[in-house]
Structures are given as structure tokens and as C-alpha cells.
Amino acid sequence: MKILPVAFESMGVRSMATYVETNDLRIFIDPGVSVSPDRYSMPPHTVELDRRRDMLESVKEWAGLSDVVIITHYHYDHHNPDEICLYKGKDILLKHPREHINQSQKQRAATLLGLIEPCARSVRTADSQEFIFGNTRIVFSPPLLHGNSPALGYVVGVLIEDDQKFLYTSDVQGPMNQEVVDFVIAHQPATIILDGPPTYQIGSHYKKSDINQAFENIKKIISATSIKSFIIDHHLLRDLNWQDYVSDLSSVKPATKICSAAEYLGKKVDILEARRKELYGGQVCV
Ligand SMILES: [Zn+2]
Ligand SMILES: [Zn+2]
């Protein structure tokens, strides 16, 4: 199995876009790329906007090669309603567009479905479902909270299995919930991509105790599995101090290698959003 993180915070954009190639299937998960409209009360820097354009090209290239496209929820860093080529002729497996969903994502899902239903090869809802394509099995979790309340809606986690197992959690914000821990432990993946706790929102959207719970949950997963490659990125990599948290987790089990998506590929981490003040030369934009 080939696992290729395509666009992530560690590469300079908001995304968890991932290409997976099994023995007999090519799959693209969450073909969306965005930048934060407002970080440190500053709009995106031109460096970030240029990176978003470049990353979107990579997403289009790899999604174009794929047979199956998965959409785990309807935030714009996970799907893209403006690039119909991402879905044309593909088998689409997506988060249920009307059940276990908040109002804004329900509207976005309806818009996306209107665009892709005429051009996709097939469109099927994924929540709690299992799909077999040749020798590849794709298993979806039940709807999982996007954080610790229904306010941000729900996502579906994805397990892809051929002779190896890969698990993609989507936006579970940590994870903050035991349900996510149970899904991961039940499937015992060799490789995982987790969005990581949103430590940059401590004191605004989340309490310190929420974030502490998320790290405890990650430690539970590490302890109860034999995961070899544990990729943490997305929300955690919006924090300039993300490495301190990874160092702490790395001591739990030396056999579990914890890294960002860029590091997994042997590339240098190149976060941009967390460095926005620096990109603007320390000036505060009003
Ligand atoms: Zn999200
Ligand atoms: Zn996201």
C-alpha cells in the first residue's frame, strides 16, 4: 500500500488531502485545500495564497488518477465545490449529507451533490458502511463528533485495508472522544493519519482540559495498538509549538514513530499559517 499525504498544514495549507494506492485500487481522501481567512487578526499572506494554488494543483493531479474519491465532511479544507474535475467519472463515497450533520454543512453538502451527481460514476453515503473493491476493503466509522459537541457537525473516519491497514480519522479534534479511540483500536492499523488537538484554540474554542483529554486519548491509542507510523498534522500544526507536543507523545512507545505528514514523506516541515505574523514582518494588519 502506498500512502501519500498530498496537502497538509505541515506543507503550508489547511488540508488533510491524502492519496492511497492499494494492490488494486486508487483512492483520494478529502480533496480540499484552504487557508485561514483570519489568523492573529490578519488575512492570508500572499505566500499562503500561492501555496494554496500549488497544493490544489497537486490535489487535482492525484485525484485525477484515482478511482474512488472519499469526502469525510463538508468543510472547505476537505472538499471543493469549484473543481468538478475532482469528481468526474469517480466512485464517490461521502459523509451522509442530511443525517448527523449541522446546518452549514448540510447546505454545502446539497450544493456539492447537485454538482457531482450528474458527472460522478456513482455517489454513495458512507456512514457506518463497508465497501469492497476487488481485494480492497474500505470501512467507515459511524458519524464521529467534529470535536466535543455537535456544533461543528460530524465526520466519518476511514479504514482502508489490502494486505496492510491504514486509518484516516478526519477532523476529530484530537481525538476528544472515546468513540474515535474505540474505532482505531478495533481496527489496529499499521499507519494512521490523525488531525491532532487544536492547541491553538485553547482559551477560545476549547478549554485546556479538552485538549488534555485529547492527548490522553492519543496515548491510549498508542498504548493499545502496534501502529508503526503515526502521522499527526492538520489542527496541531497550526500551533508554532507543535513539536513540544509530539516530543511528549514520542516517549509513550518508541516503536511508534510520530511525525507530521511532511516528515513522513522525508520533507522539511513548512508551516505557514502559524507563522503568519512573521510572514508579515511582525506587523499587525488592521
Ligand atoms: Zn472540519
Ligand atoms: Zn479540517
**Domain at 221, CATH number:** 3.60.15.10
DSSP string, 112-164: HHHHHTTTSSEEEE-TT-EEEETTEEEEEPSPEESSSSGGG-EE--EEEESSS
**Residue 266 grid coordinates:** 522525508
Q: Determine the distance separating the centroid of ligand 2 and the alpha carbon of 74, expressed in angstroms.
A: 9
- Residue whose cell numbers read 484516516: 168
Residues with a beta carbon under 5 angstroms from ion ligand 1 = 75, 171
Q: Determine the distance separating the centroid of ligand 1 and the alpha carbon of 70, expressed in angstroms.
A: 14
Note the ligand closest to the C-alpha atom of 194: 2
pLDDT at residue number 147: 92
Whether residue 285 is contained in a domain is answered as no
Note the ligand closest to the C-alpha atom of 30: 2
Whether residue 189 is contained in a domain is answered as yes
Does the pTM exceed 0.95? Answer: yes
- Residue whose cell numbers read 522525508: 266
Q: Determine the distance separating the centroid of ligand 2 and the alpha carbon of 238, expressed in angstroms.
A: 11
Whether residue 152 is contained in a domain is answered as yes
Kind of pairing between the strands at 158-161 and 191-194: unpaired
Whether residue 74 is contained in a domain is answered as yes
Whether residue 114 is contained in a domain is answered as yes
Whether residue 284 is contained in a domain is answered as no
Q: Determine the distance separating the centroid of ligand 1 and the alpha carbon of 135, expressed in angstroms.
A: 30
**CA distances from residue 60 to 54, 82, 88, 92 in whole angstroms, order as listed:** 10, 12, 11, 15
Whether residue 248 is contained in a domain is answered as yes
pLDDT at residue number 286: 41
- What total of structural domains would you count in the chain? 1
Q: Where are the alpha helices (DSSP H) in the chain?
A: 46-64, 103-116, 178-187, 208-224, 242-250, 261-264, 276-279
Whether residue 161 is contained in a domain is answered as yes
For each of the chain's 286 residues, which pLDDT tens digit applies? 999 999 999 999 999 999 999 999 999 999 999 999 999 999 999 999 999 999 999 999 999 999 999 999 999 999 999 999 999 999 999 999 999 999 999 999 999 999 999 999 999 999 999 999 999 999 999 999 999 999 999 999 999 999 999 999 999 999 999 999 999 999 999 999 999 999 999 999 999 999 999 999 999 999 999 999 999 999 999 999 999 999 999 999 999 999 999 999 999 999 999 999 999 996 544 4
Give the domain range for residue 135. 2-279
pLDDT at residue number 284: 46
